[in-house]
Structure formats: C-alpha cells, structure tokens
Amino acid sequence: MRRRAGFTLLEMLVATSLMAVAVVGLLAALSASLGNASRLTDHDRAAVVARRKMDELLLAARLPRYQVLESPLTPADGAGLEGGWRARVSPFEVPPNAQPGSMILNRIECEIWWTHGGRRRSYRLEGFKASLLQPQDVLGGVIQP
C-alpha cells in the first residue's frame, strides 16, 4: 500500500477556515486599536492646548471675575483640533472683611472642547491664582463681580 504525502481537500478547507477566522480577528483588533489611538491623540492634543491656555490665564495681569471668557481654537493654539475654549474666574478663598489691597485666591476653570466622530468632547482644568482686591472689586464690604 502506498502512502501519499500531502493534505486532503477537507484538511485544506479546515486549515483555510481557521486562518480566515484568525485574520478577521486580528484585523478587527487592529481597527479598534487605530480608533483608540486616534481618540487618545485628540485627548493628548486637547490636554496640551488646555495647559497652554491655563498658563496664559495664570500669567494674565488682570482677569475679569464672574465673566465667561471664550473663543474658538485657532490653528496656532488648536493643534489640529476644531473646537473652542471657555474659562471663568471666581473668588475661591476670601479673608473675612476683605478690603482693597487684601490678597484673595481666585479659581480659574478652563474647558477645551472639540468634536470627534460627530460627538462633542471636552477636557477641563482648574487652576488657582492669588491676586489683590482692587477698589472697584469691593463695594460696601462685598466683593463685586
């Protein structure tokens, strides 16, 4: 009796089917990884833009309290994101009987928003800055907006 070297048609079909399942699984995992990498890249960009914007706000000499500061992201500060930023400054800690010239602590809330895949995403930061109360900030012993 002669033995034949090689595979039967049935063995080839089973092997091909197993290989197809493995390749489809690998391609699905690769696609998901690329999507996650793209989303994380946008979050990284937003974090950089938010930190840069927060640094600008912390270095600003005088920021209006209780007013929303906002603007769209420009190509210079947007790092490839289409969206905008919004910030608000409010007193965080004020000593009792604060008078002009008193030091207070302000909270700066900064949000960067952008769209990715048709959904709005955002990244928020919070910072604190000490400043002196100005005469126009205090009216009748109450801090004015």
Q: How do the domains of the chain map onto residue ranges?
A: 9-137
**Positive or negative CA dihedral for 7, 10, 12, 15?**
negative
Both tokens of residue 104?
Answer: 């207070």
pLDDT tens for residues 133-144?
877 766 555 555
- What CATH number matches the domain at 9-137, 3.30.70.270, 3.50.50.60, 3.40.50.1110, 3.30.1300.30? 3.30.1300.30
Q: For tokens 């004015």, what's the residue?
A: 144
Q: What mean pLDDT is reported for the chain? A: 84
Report the 10 Å Cβ neighbour count for 46.
25
pLDDT of residue 145: 47
Q: Are 57 and 67 in contact (CB under 8 A)?
A: no
Report the 10 Å Cβ neighbour count for 63.
16
pLDDT tens for residues 57-82?
999 888 888 889 999 988 777 667 88
